Structure 1
Amino acid sequence: MNKQFKIGAIATAVTSVFSTPVLAEDSAADKLIERVQIIGQKQKLKTESGSATFIGEEELAQFKFDDINRVLYSIPGVNIREEDGFGLRPNIGFRGVTPERSKKITIMEDGVLIGPAPYSAPAAYYFPMMTKINSLEVFKGPSAIKYGPFTVAGALNLTTRPVPSALEGAIDLSVGSNGYQKIHGYAGDTHGKFGYLVEAAKVKSDGFKELDGGGDTGFDKNDIMAKFQYDFSTDSYNQIVELKIDYADEVSNETYLGLTDADFKQNPNRRYTASQKDKMDWDHQQVMLTHFIGNDDFDVTTKVYRHDFKRSWFKINGLKRQGGGTLPALQNILAEPERYEDLLRLLKGEIDSSRNNELIILGDNNRKFYSQGIQSELYWYTKLAGLKHSFNIGARFHQDQIQRRHTEDSFLMTSSQLVSDGIAQVATSTNLEETDAISIFIKDTISYKALDVTVGVRGEFIDAYFQNQAPSKDGDWQKKSTQIWLPSLSAFYKLSDNSGVFFGIHEGFVPSSPKQPSSIKPENSINYELGGRYNNGNTNLEATVFFNDIENLIETCGFSNCGQDDEKEFNSGKASVAGLELTAGHTFTLNSSFDLPVSLAYTYTKAKFDTAFESAFPQWGNVKKGDKLPYTPENQLTLKVGIQANDWGINAIGRYIDSMQEASGEGVLLSGVETDALSIVDLSANYSFDKYGVIYLKVDNVFDKQEIVSRRPYGARPSKARQAFVGYQYQF
């Protein structure tokens, strides 16, 4: 089913007359930035009738985080399951949904789906390098309805640097502990109607974990991006075209193999010998062509995009006996070390395989993806029946595909080294999934005096296909079609120039894979929120209560959470998530030379099952009514404090994350087991030499506190150890 790219499959029709002007004084480039950035930051008081958070370039620069997890902890309503300590493959959820591989949130770069195959295989094994990200936005509740396919939780939009209007550039060099190195630079300019930007970044580290017998546990990531822009504006229309090209790659010596709890207590950074060959190797290419046109009456932004991603993760999968015979799963060995003492010693390299002919199985999860599409979005303002209407209409045709070529090789542990046993490689998963999807959304914001009411609907029309391509199979295609309309209703009432209240309700949706039987249903929920916000330019406050009423959850058992290759999906009984999100910030002026900015983000989440059921899913088991959902902390708190002077600044950020359930019910391996509560403090400081640049120092995890953040899939995994950096940045 090699389909050609259907560039004509989408169109936006406009039949009405516009009357309310958009910002006519802005250039075409300014308006393009607004449409890419979605929220922007021009308004002191945001009047979106839904939860939306913007983190701009200045705030991102305070701590220069390379890890998306450390950035998102400052946003309420975000739940994260950490994995490698660097955020290489993040696990992000919003409002209590599973954080597993960020597969239930919609992830975008510059307003376009950025996952390897967002419909066919939504697990985010690729994530954009944070070093190149200029700003980010998080949408939850009704504000996320336009960004599907997943509307149950929310959307994350990462924006890259825009083409500058004049000559501009920077170089950023940094070194630190554990062999950390960063080189980041960009340069761009606009000459007449033509503008360009070139940006490149390299980040590497030797890693903070200590491999038994020695070895690299770090990573090396590279990204280079170019943008070319031409302004076709006339007296009648603002019009601009931009071409974006990006290449990125990563080699990381990462593993799924963790530790026993006892070994974690002795040294949380230890890595067993059996993981010495584990390595992820990927590369990613993207190209996007954007066209913007508008005048005082309307504007339309159209994007055509193509992403290609291929990866190979060679890693330990399990054990088996030479000549056949089963051995316990790695999860069991790490969870019950006294019972499987000899097998644990084998993983540590303390004994050789030859004693009992045990083989260590390493699998290569070799996957190839593409994602491509065309989307168009219209903004239109008019008056009807004496009321102001702000229409936002969009459509997208999208195709994506994942091709799996998984294999396994067997090794002997010999003198603390993995040595091939000479047996031929075995193919384990050979299949293909692909999806054609048409999405449509319509939003109308009706304004009457201080009240804005937004009515919206999203349509998803999905044709998904699966083919088992193993030689022993007949290769027949399995097809699953889904058509659904997802409504939303929200309102914002402006109490004053500085304050307002909002309410929203929308339907959440997560499709199921065509690989799964028809008994596996899509996830559906009705989600509510009620809140208020205040902002006078110096003080801001926002509080939101939310409730998600979930008909059934859908979860996937894969390597990252179950240590299994079958990627089988499961449905639960009914569930609900209720909570409170709170943000507050104020800048205290100490005197004419010093400011003291303080901000706080707090989340309370109560996520539970509302019905009893039995499941073979290893994170559920035998669930009773009222059991907590896994990996959802009840309390999270982030506090930021800074001192800002004319030419220097110091900023500290402290985070607290409650313990989390590793499994919900009884009768599964990690029943009744929790992760550790985590308290972390990060620190940054900078000094400006004016035109000669800035020197900065930062320390992640100042007090070097490490806790168990997960025991999935194979044993205890640590939070990141203390890491110090020093850097120099020069801008022109």
Structure 2
Amino acid sequence: MHFIFFIFLFFIISLELQAEDVSNESITLPEIEIQSSIGDRTRLTPGSTNYVDRQSIDKSRYLTVGEILQEVPGVVSEIDDGDSRKSNFGIRGAHSRRSRKISVYEDYIPNNFAPYTDPTTHYTPPDERIAGIEVIKGSGQLTHGPQTMYGIINFLNYRPPTQSSGKIITSLGSTQIGPRKQFHVRYGRQFSVFGNWQAMFTRHDNRGPVHGDITEYNDFFINGDIDINENQKLALTFNYNEEDSEYAEGGLGLSQYNANKQMGNLRLGDDIFKMDMARIGLAHSYYASDTLKVDTNFYYNFFYRTRWSQTDNDESAGLVFRKGIGCTNEGLRIDAANITNAGCGYKVSPRRYHTAGIETRFYKQTKWFDKNNDLKYGAKLEFEKLKRKQWVTTLEGNKKDQAGDQFVENEFAKMNEEAEVYALATYFENDIQYSDKLTLTPGIRYESYFLIHNDRENRDGCGATSVVCNDYTSYEKDEYILLPGLGFTYLAPQSNQLYGGIHMGMAPPAVGDAGYREISNLKSQKSFNFELGIRNQTFENNLGVTFEAAAFRTVERNRPVKSSLRTAGTGSTLKNIGTTFTDGIEFSSNWDQSKYSKKLNNWFGTFSYSFIYPKLKTHQKGERSSSDPGSPMIIDDIYENDIPFIPRHKAVLTIGYGKKNKWNVSGTARYNGEYFTDIDNSKGIGVSGRFGQVDDYILFNSRLNYQWGQATFYISGTNLLNTPYIASVSAEGLKTGNGRTLVSGMEYNF
């Protein structure tokens, strides 16, 4: 790590030494749609879209990227690590756990570790280098994939400036648990014929909502834009991120949560999470003529993550439960008196991912049947290779973080699986200018992939011994599917824009959803998506108000849900539930007094609201039984129960006052509605904290920004009333959300 840091520091210093003139920072996005958008390109995409620009991000000063996304109607973000690092994003009824059911990109390079086989995300880019965030929820998502049922999120990085400039961002804060420290520096300039280049370094060292939750990582990022000639452009990205955090995947049992909501990981350093990420992106844009442009994007991602933990599941005792080879106090809860960590073994879960792809897109303007047509068509080839393992160990010398190959075959292995995917996707979309007011956008996507899944569990069927059984299985699957769509945009009188669409979506079965050796039991999810919306700017000039509203329905087949929440593990046993209906409405509005007022100081505000009505439309007996702890409700038929993990209501209101380009102060109220976490719709939280109804809550935040020359100073407060709430519930227990957090920071342009 230190070697990489010094190379990176040398790169930044060398840029500075060669700089001749200093100017203010600028954001220049190259005309390479496949690599990054040209400002807000969502307005050119059919259907419902949202764009969060950097000005809005800076004004809101939210604590994490997840809270930024909470402002977008229809988007849910569960923050269970204090920094949104383990991204849990959902759109329009998608289960948010690790963002497995949506496509997440960074400059249109996949952030999902293995999009076709294990689309989990334990990585979110640092908020300091995000220039904007795109969210696409309508039929326009068919040009991306493979997850096309709910929507996509694309983080846009700052592009290199055309003139010498840079920025330093630093912030210090404090929670009830401990300090938060963040630092970011970037510098870029033009290098003659070698184009524009930029280097960024970011470090986060943040305490989370509970004891023993520390997110710590370093991020190194370099990108460049090169004009090869007047017809060709090249954009390059190099990114390395290393994380060494104290993070317990397992949460609390109900009794522990009630006793001390900040109890967290009482192993205090024994549960750790490590990850290395390396990424290369190369995007080439060729302007063949005035009416034809070809973009080609190559990307390669490498993720290696491993988790060391003593955590195990026990229904009656809660989740902080000691189990492992050579554990002195095996079977006892870690929060019991006189319990130490001496002599305890560990459960280790290393995973390794390789994802490589190449995609070519064509943009063609033509005229058919006397109508203007804007064609977008292309193809993508992708290869994925992953390896997932779990093993337990005595760890010589009681050292949890053993060196060496974590994937080696040994007598302690409990799980060992590998998967490869060869995927091909093609798509076609056409914006037909049917009239001056009406644009029709038909489209179709073809998805095909071939999956090879192999596993070996050394101790499978061998009882508690360490005898190697070499029980080997192999599974192969291929799938081909056509996904049609149709969108429209109509420019109505008085600055109204009507839009709508229908499309089919899909999501391949994920290894992480299926659990060990269960991938062959899951089918791909399919959906029929409908939406109708309106954008209005009628009152922008005289009242400073704009708004957007949309209604949608998603009819889903084969949604995976847990077949038994009594089974240990985050994704241990799932099955396809049948048919589900998700209906909803979304509303967002912006108010800016400066649009019509000549005053120096003006008011501003934003409001967003989402309502979702998620229903199971299949007949099945519930999963609760009389043997469950407490007084479980036994359900004979789950038909018309709520789909788990989907809050019905979500609202965010912000009101502020300030002087443009000088200062502003604002406050935010954020409401998250209640939801169920099992298909039985159990009301009470279970003893183990793994199922039950999560109550609604409301949080209050505030911030102050002040600009002084090239510097901006800010202070912010999150959860000012220190409201306790449950942030997430999984098969490994419940997790509490961030308590009161105060942060101060400074940005300096040079």
**TM-score, with structure 1 as normaliser:** 0.85
Distance change >3 Å, CA 272–CA 30, structure 1 → 2: closer
Matching residue of 2:537: 535
Does 2:158 correspond to 1:165?
A: no
- Tell me the distance in 1 between the aligned counterparts of 2:401 and 2:387: 29
Report matched runs for 1:429-578 at 5 Å: 429-449=415-435, 450-470=437-457, 472-473=469-470, 475=472, 477-496=474-493, 498-513=495-510, 516=518, 518-535=520-537, 538-555=544-561, 563-564=568-569, 567-578=572-583
Does 2:333 correspond to 1:346?
A: yes
Matching residue of 1:309: 303
Matching residue of 2:620: 613
Matching residue of 1:407: 391
Matching residue of 1:182: 182
Does 2:384 correspond to 1:374?
A: no
- Tell me the distance in 2 between the aligned counterparts of 1:60 and 1:596: 18
Matching residue of 1:598: 605
Out of 648, 657, 661, which is 2:672 matched to?
657
- Tell me the distance in 2 between the aligned counterparts of 1:83 and 1:728: 27
SS at match of 1:346: coil
Asked whether the equivalents of residues 505 and 526 of structure 1 are also in contact (C-alpha less than 8 Å), the reply is yes
Aligned-residue CA RMSD (Å) = 3.3
Out of 261, 284, 295, which is 2:277 matched to?
284
Does 2:216 correspond to 1:220?
A: yes
Distance change >3 Å, CA 260–CA 343, structure 1 → 2: farther
Asked whether the equivalents of residues 691 and 729 of structure 2 are also in contact (C-alpha less than 8 Å), the reply is no
Distance change >3 Å, CA 673–CA 257, structure 1 → 2: same
Matching residue of 2:18: none
Out of 394, 400, 412, which is 1:426 matched to?
412
For 2:656, give the aligned amino acid. Answer: G
**Offset, 1:261:** 3.2
Matching residue of 1:729: 747
**Offset, 1:60:** 1.4
- Tell me the distance in 2 between the aligned counterparts of 1:535 and 1:382: 31
SS at match of 2:349: strand
Distance change >3 Å, CA 167–CA 363, structure 1 → 2: same
**Offset, 1:519:** 4.8
SS at match of 2:733: coil
Asked whether the equivalents of residues 681 and 692 of structure 2 are also in contact (C-alpha less than 8 Å), the reply is no
Asked whether the equivalents of residues 187 and 198 of structure 2 are also in contact (C-alpha less than 8 Å), the reply is yes
For 2:638, give the aligned amino acid. Answer: K
Matching residue of 1:384: 368
Asked whether the equivalents of residues 551 and 585 of structure 2 are also in contact (C-alpha less than 8 Å), the reply is yes
Out of 225, 234, 237, which is 1:229 matched to?
225
**Offset, 1:436:** 0.8
Deviates more, 1:94-103 or 1:463-472: 463-472
- Tell me the distance in 2 between the aligned counterparts of 1:418 and 1:228: 40
- Tell me the distance in 1 between the aligned counterparts of 2:478 and 2:36: 32
SS at match of 2:142: helix
Per-residue deviation, residues 253-285 of structure 1 (Å, max 9, x unmatched): 111333343443443111253464000011100
**Offset, 1:192:** 3.3
- Tell me the distance in 1 between the aligned counterparts of 2:635 and 2:140: 34
Asked whether the equivalents of residues 618 and 639 of structure 2 are also in contact (C-alpha less than 8 Å), the reply is yes
Out of 676, 697, 720, which is 1:702 matched to?
720
- Tell me the distance in 1 between the aligned counterparts of 2:206 and 2:520: 46
- Tell me the distance in 2 between the aligned counterparts of 1:678 and 1:29: 40
Asked whether the equivalents of residues 509 and 519 of structure 2 are also in contact (C-alpha less than 8 Å), the reply is no
Matching residue of 1:16: none
**Offset, 1:710:** 2.8
- Tell me the distance in 1 between the aligned counterparts of 2:101 and 2:208: 29
Does 2:39 correspond to 1:40?
A: yes
- Tell me the distance in 2 between the aligned counterparts of 1:664 and 1:595: 48
- Tell me the distance in 2 between the aligned counterparts of 1:42 and 1:335: 46
Matching residue of 1:10: none
Out of 64, 75, 78, which is 1:78 matched to?
75
**Offset, 1:232:** 1.7
Asked whether the equivalents of residues 569 and 732 of structure 2 are also in contact (C-alpha less than 8 Å), the reply is no
Per-residue deviation, residues 704-725 of structure 1 (Å, max 9, x unmatched): 1121223323333111011111
SS at match of 2:334: helix
Matching residue of 1:67: 64
- Tell me the distance in 2 between the aligned counterparts of 1:465 and 1:40: 40
Distance change >3 Å, CA 408–CA 401, structure 1 → 2: same
Asked whether the equivalents of residues 463 and 481 of structure 1 are also in contact (C-alpha less than 8 Å), the reply is yes
- Tell me the distance in 1 between the aligned counterparts of 2:744 and 2:318: 38
Matching residue of 1:585: 590
Asked whether the equivalents of residues 66 and 129 of structure 1 are also in contact (C-alpha less than 8 Å), the reply is no
- Tell me the distance in 2 between the aligned counterparts of 1:255 and 1:336: 10
Distance change >3 Å, CA 534–CA 260, structure 1 → 2: same
**Offset, 1:404:** 1.5
Distance change >3 Å, CA 274–CA 672, structure 1 → 2: closer
**Offset, 1:116:** 1.6
- Tell me the distance in 2 between the aligned counterparts of 1:360 and 1:399: 40
Out of 138, 145, 148, which is 2:145 matched to?
148
SS at match of 1:705: coil
Report matched runs for 1:219-368 at 5 Å: 219-234=215-230, 237=231, 239-274=232-267, 276-294=269-287, 295-318=289-312, 329-334=313-318, 346-352=333-339, 362-368=346-352
Per-residue deviation, residues 418-448 of structure 1 (Å, max 9, x unmatched): 999xxx9721111101111011110011112
Matching residue of 1:128: 125
SS at match of 1:446: strand
**Offset, 1:180:** 1.2
- Tell me the distance in 2 between the aligned counterparts of 1:293 and 1:418: 52
Asked whether the equivalents of residues 46 and 138 of structure 2 are also in contact (C-alpha less than 8 Å), the reply is no
Per-residue deviation, residues 547-584 of structure 1 (Å, max 9, x unmatched): 1111221247899x964277444110211100100011
Distance change >3 Å, CA 523–CA 78, structure 1 → 2: same
Distance change >3 Å, CA 34–CA 649, structure 1 → 2: farther
- Tell me the distance in 2 between the aligned counterparts of 1:721 and 1:208: 6
Matching residue of 1:644: 658
Per-residue deviation, residues 191-234 of structure 1 (Å, max 9, x unmatched): 43421111111111244423xxxxx5312111111113321223
- Tell me the distance in 1 between the aligned counterparts of 2:191 and 2:346: 54
Matching residue of 1:11: none
Matching residue of 1:24: none
Per-residue deviation, residues 270-303 of structure 1 (Å, max 9, x unmatched): 1253464000011100011111112422222111
SS at match of 1:283: strand
**Offset, 1:143:** 2.0
SS at match of 2:296: strand
Distance change >3 Å, CA 241–CA 380, structure 1 → 2: same
Asked whether the equivalents of residues 66 and 78 of structure 2 are also in contact (C-alpha less than 8 Å), the reply is no
Q: Which runs of 5+ in 1 are unaligned?
A: 1-27, 211-215, 319-328
Asked whether the equivalents of residues 250 and 319 of structure 2 are also in contact (C-alpha less than 8 Å), the reply is no
Distance change >3 Å, CA 470–CA 463, structure 1 → 2: same
Q: Which runs of 5+ in 2 are unaligned?
A: 1-26, 322-328, 403-409, 459-468, 512-516, 629-633
Matching residue of 1:213: none
**Offset, 1:29:** 7.0
**TM-score, with structure 2 as normaliser:** 0.83
**Offset, 1:133:** 1.6
Matching residue of 1:688: 707
- Tell me the distance in 1 between the aligned counterparts of 2:373 and 2:51: 25
Matching residue of 1:209: 210
- Tell me the distance in 1 between the aligned counterparts of 2:533 and 2:374: 22
- Tell me the distance in 1 between the aligned counterparts of 2:207 and 2:106: 28
Distance change >3 Å, CA 336–CA 591, structure 1 → 2: same
